[in-house]
Amino acid sequence: MPAYTTGAFGHRRTGEHGRLRALEDLWDPFTEHCLRQAGVPATARCLEVGAGAGSVARMLARICPSGEVTATDIDTRFFEELATGERITVLRHDVTRDGFPAASFEVIHARMVLCHLADPAHVLAAMTEWLSPGGLLLVEDLDLGPVDALPHPVMRRGMHVAERILGASQGSDLRLGRRLQSLVTDSGLTSGGMGVQPVLIGDGGPADEFWRLSFAQIRDFHARSDSSLAAELDAALSLIDHPDFTDLGMNAVSVWGRKPAQQPGSSPA
């Protein structure tokens, strides 16, 4: 079965730490904007699911100067130093198997996690249980849909190859972003808001480095055994730095909702 730990983006892959840091450079400003817009309390108990290289856990600690942050991942090697902080707890945790007591957190955040899971709805339901009444859940994922309309066939084919390899190797759905809003409301949360940020490739911005590292890692994982796939990925990789190339590569999607303060059918205390 496909699994993230053994796929192209597993933590043991050479270059994965650098790829995660590039993802932070690309996505962190949008994440912080959405967290602040959603209204994170300064005293919140926060859970960061799939903390990656740790930047959002640090961000939550800044946003919540009187709160606490629990940073989790199936592999914590890239952010273990956060455990030295007074208000950050580092925990190895598999969100598909391991739980927390009900109402453990006022804020839960997960970025680029649900798209790699076989049953994101099940995990969202679990995270909803971990929220206290009135608590905030904010999830973020990408939508690769814009790639289908790219006018550059080389990049379009390269992106589609990457999408197929990630789907086969680790079960990733790189279009989950377009379904995030319905997944959040179906989990029993009231809709809080949604943000979408178009992400360009080839404009010299942080997305260029993210896709350089992603293409190279996917090629090294799988495509060396298939020369045609390797050629498609190499061609897309080289196009990123071509002076005449700039295009929309994906959308970053952020959706947030709140757990009802009173569960349906319950009576006020």
Q: Are 250 and 205 in contact (CB under 8 A)?
A: no
**Mean pLDDT computed over every residue of the chain:** 93
Quick one: pLDDT band at residue 196, thresholds 50, 70, 90?
very high
Q: Which region among 2-11, 94-103, 188-197, 237-246 has the lowest average model confidence (pLDDT)?
A: 2-11
- Please state, in angstroms and rounded to a whole number, the distance separating the CA atoms of residues 195 and 224: 37
pLDDT tops 80 at residue 252: yes
Quick one: pLDDT band at residue 268, thresholds 50, 70, 90?
very low
Quick one: pLDDT band at residue 64, thresholds 50, 70, 90?
very high
- Residue 8: the pLDDT is 81
Question: Residues for the chain: how many in total?
Answer: 269
pLDDT one-digit tens code per residue, 23-46: 999 999 999 999 999 999 999 999
Quick one: pLDDT band at residue 248, thresholds 50, 70, 90?
very high
- Residue 267: the pLDDT is 46
The predicted model gives 197-224 an average pLDDT of 91
Quick one: pLDDT band at residue 223, thresholds 50, 70, 90?
low
- Residue 198: the pLDDT is 97
Residue with tokens 């005449």: 244
pLDDT tops 80 at residue 266: no
Q: Report all structural domains of the chain as residue ranges with CATH numbers, in order of start.
A: 4-258 (3.40.50.150)
